[in-house]
Structure 1
Amino acid sequence: MAEPELPIFAGEADLATLYTTLKRTFREAKLATPDLDARLLVVETLNVTTAQLIANPRLAIPAALVGELEVRARERLAGRSIGRILGRRAFWSLDLRVSDATLEPRPETETVVELALTVLQPPDRAAAIADLGVGSGAILLAVLTERPAAFGVGVDISLGCLVQARRNAERHGLAARAAFVAANFGAALGARFDLVVSNPPYVSTGTIATLDRTVREFDPRLALDGGADGLDAYRTVFAHAEAILAPAGTLIVEIDPAAADAVTGEAARHRLEVVSMANDLNGVPRAMSLRRGDG
């Protein structure tokens, strides 16, 4: 029988001690960003500001909040990300709620948004947008925030994702310009769209076991697994593109930088031509825009 874990905080209940102890614990556990993780958990859980960590270090913390911080710290040590623990993640200019059903939005996906905004010009242009595999709503809602005359449809096979995306749209005042549909990518869409965006699952099945623990154990497998070669979802998206893209419409997909050539080849088999590629902040290809070869 395993011995019970010792408490992290051992009854200490002033702000400075809790913060210092958590930083030390996370450093000893070799987390990638121990100090940042500790600060975020302390600020969010104990309802204090970053300034109070400096100005009021001896602030007494109620036992109930210390217990909640202990629980969240254990979750982080078990591999759950800060975003999943707090139930939200910053993306673009948005504060998005996430759940166990949704992929946690990541900074590199903002490259898709940036490329989409270059397509939707001028900014006041009326446009119809479809997001295939909408997840938390990150890409679609970020684009709608920047393009006030646009209307979007978010599609996902996961009802849990659709619930979360709709809630995020409501939180950010975008519900009137967004609709959500349960379907497999573009299969149920009868309209034509000026812009179609997608961050499809593109991790090859055999590679999932090698991913970071926070991804392989806590992101939904449905949002990760792209099949044996990582291209299954692209094949579906590309097959649907001909029916749902307007004649001069653009399709933008997120890609694995290492798979750029493979995705380009698959697109060509569906009569889609690459218009441009965009690099993420690491300087590697992350988003690809395509148009119909006869467009």
Structure 2
Amino acid sequence: MVDTDPLGLTGDDIDLSSLYNGVKRAFREAGLATPDLDARLLVTETLGVSTAQLIANPRMRVAPDLADALKARVRERLSGRSIGRILGRRAFWSLDLRVSPSTLEPRPETETVVELALALLQPVETTALIADLGVGTGAILLAVLSERLNAFGVGVDISEDALREAERNAERNNLADRARFVVANFGAALAPQFDVVVSNPPYIATSVIETLDPIVRDNDPRLALDGGEDGLDAYRVVFSQANQMLKPGGTLIVEIDPNASGEVIREAAEHGLSAVTLATDLNGDTRAVALRRMNA
């Protein structure tokens, strides 16, 4: 009897090659953006094999329970869940990060904030204190700390569940000794001692959230997406707190919607902050802005 599983295989087709090719085929037919990469990640993680084994041992037999687990994950991916949500972890910068329902899933464009922070923290042996507002998984803060060995950081989030995830990620990436985590509304609990403050705040206008890609809309916490009526509510809070966070000459770096860079910069100016650097992501879109106090 033919098994009508998502891979279109018969019950006997459970060697490594058949499964891997079946997953790639299913993802390509579904029109996924990165079908081969998604297939490789699901197959290697679920079956416990390496990429080298996919090439060197394609006829390796796969236990039926593992094949069933893979098919279940394929169904999840085809239903609209991201690879990171399915596996419960996501690569960001050089880090392996856990993700959970309480955290935004880190995305490549956010690495633009990391690059901008690292460019400001020169030379590399610089001793610095960094804060990450809305730290989530800890992605930005931990990426910066991983590259600047004399830097120390504080991660802030209003969600205690998110902070626990960030703490776990600091431990799993051997950065816990240089990172502390605090429950607060952005910078409300901080003192003016930070060289660099980074943030990827919620910046999606409330009315736009329902139009987002289901992978984002249905999986990322709304708290991490909803920027209010015009998408600028979180920026207003962060900008109003700049004086109580930044030391003289300190820099605030925020991720932005490329289509709203002008609005963000104007809002910053109303709070006494001037844009000193704009940074683009790999698509050439303006994704981050560095700001300093005008009277600093």
Give the TM interval when normalised to the shorter protein: over 0.9
> What's 1:99 paired with?
100
Deviations 1:190-217 (A, max 9, x none): 3521110000011111111221111111
> What's 1:221 paired with?
222
> What's 2:127 paired with?
126
Runs of 5+ unmatched residues, structure 1: none
Alignment of structure 1 residues 245-256 onto 2, 5 Å: 245-256=246-257
Could you tell me whether the CA contact under 8 Å between 2:192 and 2:243 is conserved in 1? no
For residue 105 of structure 2, give the secondary structure of its aligned residue in structure 1. Answer: coil
CA-atom RMSD, angstroms?
1.3
> What's 2:69 paired with?
68
> What's 1:199 paired with?
200
Alignment of structure 1 residues 42-81 onto 2, 5 Å: 42-81=43-82
Alignment of structure 1 residues 70-219 onto 2, 5 Å: 70-219=71-220
**Residue type of the partner of 1:273?**
S
**Residue type of the partner of 1:129?**
I
For residue 16 of structure 1, give the secondary structure of its aligned residue in structure 2. Answer: helix
The 1-side partners of 2:204 and 2:278 are apart by: 20
Aligned identity (percent) is 67
For residue 83 of structure 1, give the secondary structure of its aligned residue in structure 2. Answer: helix
Deviations 1:206-239 (A, max 9, x none): 1112211111111111111111111000001001
**Residue type of the partner of 2:224?**
A
Q: What TM-score does the superposition give when structure 1 sets the normalisation length?
A: 0.95
- Structure 1 residue 146, shift from structure 2 partner: 1.0
Deviations 1:243-283 (A, max 9, x none): 11111110000001110000001001100011110111111
**Residue type of the partner of 2:206?**
T
The 1-side partners of 2:102 and 2:72 are apart by: 21
Q: How many matched pairs?
A: 291
* Mean Cα deviation higher: 99-108 or 25-34: 25-34
For residue 275 of structure 2, give the secondary structure of its aligned residue in structure 1. Answer: strand
The 2-side partners of 1:166 and 1:144 are apart by: 14
**Residue type of the partner of 1:136?**
T
- Structure 1 residue 44, shift from structure 2 partner: 1.1
**Residue type of the partner of 2:164?**
V
> What's 1:7 paired with?
5
**Residue type of the partner of 2:51?**
T
* Mean Cα deviation higher: 258-267 or 186-195: 186-195
Runs of 5+ unmatched residues, structure 2: none
Q: What TM-score does the superposition give when structure 2 sets the normalisation length?
A: 0.95
Could you tell me whether the CA contact under 8 Å between 2:131 and 2:197 is conserved in 1? yes
- Structure 1 residue 10, shift from structure 2 partner: 4.4
Deviations 1:75-118 (A, max 9, x none): 10111111111111111111111111111111111111111011
For residue 241 of structure 2, give the secondary structure of its aligned residue in structure 1. Answer: helix
* Mean Cα deviation higher: 79-88 or 257-266: 79-88
For residue 259 of structure 2, give the secondary structure of its aligned residue in structure 1. Answer: helix
> What's 1:21 paired with?
22
> What's 1:236 paired with?
237
Alignment CA distance shift 1:137-1:227 (3 Å): same
The 1-side partners of 2:155 and 2:44 are apart by: 33
The 2-side partners of 1:164 and 1:48 are apart by: 27
**Residue type of the partner of 1:7?**
D
The 2-side partners of 1:97 and 1:248 are apart by: 34
Could you tell me whether the CA contact under 8 Å between 2:141 and 2:155 is conserved in 1? yes
